[in-house]
Structure 1
Amino acid sequence: MAPVGVQGIFHEDKETGLAEVCGEEGVPYTMSTASTCPIEDVAKASGDGKRWYQLYWPKDDDITLSLLNRAKTNGFSVLVITLDTWSLAWRPADLDNAYVPFIKGIGCEVGFSDPVFRARFEKESGTQIEDDIVGASRAWLGQVFAGAPHTWQDLAFVRKHWDGPIVLKGIQHVEDAKMALEYGCDGIVVSNHGAIGSLDVLPEIVDAVGDKMTVLFDSGIRTGVDVIKALCLGAKAVMVGRPVIYGLGINGRDGARQVLKGLLADIWQSMGLSGIRTVSDCSRGMIRKVQHAGDVKAMM
């Protein structure tokens, strides 16, 4: 399950409900820093399920360390660092509707429940978070969407304080994939937040680093066949986001469960129809890129 923020806006079952379903279905759940539930609640709901933690990397090292310690203490085994959202993008639809849930504290629960952030805000503002939600929200957003990225060298701090796998999410370029390997990361997620199509760059990234680190894929997965395509192009696994969230929005945890089960069934059924016996048999020889007339601009 890909990290998706602010799940409470889709259904009251929110992150805890989806984490519970993923645990029951054997699908690793990746919790977003922009969650509407604290880390501890998601961990409890996940039960014995595998859980990963996605980090929007705070500007302050003490707050970062606190989040890492909370994640480790609560059984999150893999750290997923999102690279391409150190500042929120220009979103006309949100601007047209004056829609910024974070400013009302929605999606800030990880920060609001963090002891280091709470202590700092109370010291600097002279008030409790609950008495100034807007002010606290601004302070938290200033940490996780600070408007400036971290550097490759900064990864040494995270490696020092996280003894599990570190995965960088948002890789779209071969040279960045090589840098991730050079700086000791265990895996990458080829994904985007609206940039070039991730599937277009997946093969060249796999060719460059796929035999040295784990390459995962995210962005645009809607069906089992989409999963198979990514596996055939070299991804070791994929992350799925929106379809499961659509199910969550329609019918809470039960809706999310049906989407996950349907997607898994689609994968195995489509593999069988394609003559693919196992996931390890997914290879580039099993697929073809079909060029349609409308894919290329007519030349005069």
Structure 2
Amino acid sequence: MSQPGSTAPAPGPGRSRQTQIFVDGLGGARPLVPVAPERLQEAARRKLDAPAFAYLAGGAGAERTMRANLDAFAAVKLVPRRLCGSASRDLSVELFGHTYPAPVLLAPLGVLELAHAEADLAVGRAAAALGVPFIFSSQASEPMEEVAAAMGDAPRWFQLYWGTDEEVTRSFVRRAEQCGAQAIVLTLDTTLLGWRPRDLDLGHLPFLRGQGLAQYLTDEYFRSRLAGAPLPATSPRPSPALLRTAASLGAHGRKFGLSLSQMRAAAAHFTASYTRPDLQWDDLSRLRGWTDLPIVLKGILHPDDAREAVRRGMDGLIVSNHGGRQIDGEVGSLTVLPRVVEAAGELPVLIDSGVRTGSDVAKALAMGARAVLLGRPYAYGLALAGEAGVAEVVRNVVAEFDLTLGLLGVHAARDLRPEHLA
């Protein structure tokens, strides 16, 4: 409680963001992007063309897993305590020896050029301005070196898909180290591409058009494969759709110094090699030999897998079902979080899939997560307003989280516990 004459605590990010919006509103200004998650998604749907929105927003099968993720967060209820004097809050989180300002990281999202021309560069700059880590995607639209340069010394991790071309996989790890990545995130749930009706109905896979291949097209090992790669068959009288595909491939080729035939070969080699269905636990020992960075396994849903990760000497876990994009009818990530946390012991556990609001962040931390990964919402912000849109989405989530802590009577993010839940 403040004493007479004492200095009031500085407003946290919640009150600061809230005040900014209301003061701007006096002059008739509105936020760049909608604050409510449903309106944010709907605004992005109106802005994007159908294939782009389908890829960013869609899920596997009947999208029951996507609904399960949202339903899992909706089912968990918070219970505040009163008169706790939480006038100021500490939102910081420590992961692998680094301290970040809030327990929010930007998830690795592929093919961000579908949302905005500046793609990963815009996201990287927004993340750097806020101090939150950005996890570079293997399926990025801009090479990791350029995004790292745009971010300066701001924190970044790298997400790895382990393909059948192991020299390329190993090269990605080396490049991530050279770019200053603070961790390697190995995605385990995409050894095969899930059945995604929205994309299938449109016959749209962006990689075949040269999109989302920046890490590969700038990799010396991947580029060395292009001379001998088989070219996909083409019609002697190409349709307008094939002509548009050729134009897209040609544009990406010019950007990365490759000919149209090389780009066709690149698309063919990528689709033939980017997944590895035979990946097994024993393979992790090779990854450990390639890097001294912390290795975080993304896609863990079963406690036995968490225990095996501990036994194999992994450094962290991300509870995830890939945002509902891989298996229709999968369990919601938040539903299994407590069991995975228990099985993981001292390993830090993060979570993604279904995080939309600051109160979602609070629920996840109360259930044992160290931090969350925010995905689709920042992509929608990117679509609507580029770098500034990404920054606003992240600020809004962090602001609501800060206010939620204060209203729960919690002084620090690390103090959230199961007793704050019904």
Using the size of structure 2 for normalisation, the TM-score is 0.66
Please state whether the residue corresponding to 1:121 is helix, strand or coil.
Answer: coil
Q: Which residue of the partner structure matches residue 93 of structure 1? A: 198
1:183 correspondence with 2:317 = no
For residues 267 and 107 of structure 2, the distance between their equivalents in structure 1, rounded to whole angstroms, comes to 24
The letter of the residue matching 1:144 is Y
The letter of the residue matching 2:387 is R
**1:231-280 CA-partner distances (Å, limit 9, x unpaired):** 00000111111111111110000001111111111100111011111112
Whether the 8 Å contact between 1:55 and 1:80 is mirrored in structure 2 is: yes
Q: Which residue of the partner structure matches residue 118 of structure 2? A: 13
Q: Which residue of the partner structure matches residue 382 of structure 2? A: 248
Whether the 8 Å contact between 2:116 and 2:382 is mirrored in structure 1 is: yes
For residues 129 and 90 of structure 1, the distance between their equivalents in structure 2, rounded to whole angstroms, comes to 31
For residues 212 and 377 of structure 2, the distance between their equivalents in structure 1, rounded to whole angstroms, comes to 20
Q: CA deviation at 1:181?
A: 1.0
For residues 343 and 212 of structure 2, the distance between their equivalents in structure 1, rounded to whole angstroms, comes to 36
1:206 correspondence with 2:341 = yes
Please state whether the residue corresponding to 1:3 is helix, strand or coil.
Answer: coil
Question: Greater relative contact order: 1 or 2 (C-alpha under 8 angstroms, separation 6 or more)?
Answer: 2
Unmatched runs of 5 consecutive residues or more in structure 2: 1-105, 232-256, 325-329
Please state whether the residue corresponding to 2:225 is helix, strand or coil.
Answer: helix
Unmatched runs of 5 consecutive residues or more in structure 1: 289-300
Q: Which residue of the partner structure matches residue 258 of structure 1? A: 392
**1:188-238 CA-partner distances (Å, limit 9, x unpaired):** 0001032210111000111111x3211011110000000000000000111
Map 1:90-169 → 2, pairs under 5 A = 90-124=195-229, 129-132=258-261, 133-146=263-276, 148-169=277-298
Q: Which residue of the partner structure matches residue 332 of structure 2? A: 197
Which of the numbers 355, 359, 362 marks the counterpart of 1:225?
A: 359
Q: CA deviation at 1:144?
A: 1.4
For residues 235 and 185 of structure 1, the distance between their equivalents in structure 2, rounded to whole angstroms, comes to 17
Please state whether the residue corresponding to 1:122 is helix, strand or coil.
Answer: coil
For residues 246 and 63 of structure 1, the distance between their equivalents in structure 2, rounded to whole angstroms, comes to 31
- When the two chains are superposed, the root-mean-square deviation of aligned CA atoms in Å is 1.4
Whether the 8 Å contact between 2:230 and 2:268 is mirrored in structure 1 is: no
Q: CA deviation at 1:140?
A: 1.2
The letter of the residue matching 1:200 is T
Whether the 8 Å contact between 2:299 and 2:321 is mirrored in structure 1 is: yes
The letter of the residue matching 1:11 is H
Work out the percentage of aligned pairs sharing the same amino acid.
Answer: 39
For residues 389 and 283 of structure 2, the distance between their equivalents in structure 1, rounded to whole angstroms, comes to 40
For residues 98 and 45 of structure 1, the distance between their equivalents in structure 2, rounded to whole angstroms, comes to 34
Whether the 8 Å contact between 2:366 and 2:421 is mirrored in structure 1 is: yes
For residues 262 and 104 of structure 1, the distance between their equivalents in structure 2, rounded to whole angstroms, comes to 34
For residues 18 and 183 of structure 1, the distance between their equivalents in structure 2, rounded to whole angstroms, comes to 33
Aligned residues: 285
For residues 17 and 47 of structure 1, the distance between their equivalents in structure 2, rounded to whole angstroms, comes to 13
**1:97-131 CA-partner distances (Å, limit 9, x unpaired):** 111111011011111111001112224459x9533
Q: CA deviation at 1:141?
A: 2.2
For residues 129 and 67 of structure 1, the distance between their equivalents in structure 2, rounded to whole angstroms, comes to 20
Please state whether the residue corresponding to 1:258 is helix, strand or coil.
Answer: helix
Please state whether the residue corresponding to 2:204 is helix, strand or coil.
Answer: coil
Q: Which residue of the partner structure matches residue 68 of structure 1? A: 173
The letter of the residue matching 2:290 is H
**1:51-108 CA-partner distances (Å, limit 9, x unpaired):** 0000011212211111111111111120000000111111111111111111011011
Whether the 8 Å contact between 2:229 and 2:268 is mirrored in structure 1 is: no
Whether the 8 Å contact between 1:36 and 1:106 is mirrored in structure 2 is: yes
**1:112-171 CA-partner distances (Å, limit 9, x unpaired):** 111001112224459x9533223311201222124x141100011110011110000000
For residues 21 and 254 of structure 1, the distance between their equivalents in structure 2, rounded to whole angstroms, comes to 7
The structure that has the greater radius of gyration is 2
For residues 120 and 134 of structure 1, the distance between their equivalents in structure 2, rounded to whole angstroms, comes to 12
Whether the 8 Å contact between 1:118 and 1:129 is mirrored in structure 2 is: no
Whether the 8 Å contact between 1:129 and 1:136 is mirrored in structure 2 is: no
For residues 397 and 228 of structure 2, the distance between their equivalents in structure 1, rounded to whole angstroms, comes to 48
Whether the 8 Å contact between 2:161 and 2:274 is mirrored in structure 1 is: yes
Please state whether the residue corresponding to 1:139 is helix, strand or coil.
Answer: helix
Please state whether the residue corresponding to 1:188 is helix, strand or coil.
Answer: strand
Map 1:26-45 → 2, pairs under 5 A = 26-45=131-150
Please state whether the residue corresponding to 2:356 is helix, strand or coil.
Answer: coil
For residues 17 and 4 of structure 1, the distance between their equivalents in structure 2, rounded to whole angstroms, comes to 13
For residues 285 and 203 of structure 1, the distance between their equivalents in structure 2, rounded to whole angstroms, comes to 13
The letter of the residue matching 1:31 is F
Q: Which residue of the partner structure matches residue 284 of structure 1? A: 418
The letter of the residue matching 2:266 is A
Q: Which residue of the partner structure matches residue 3 of structure 1? A: 108
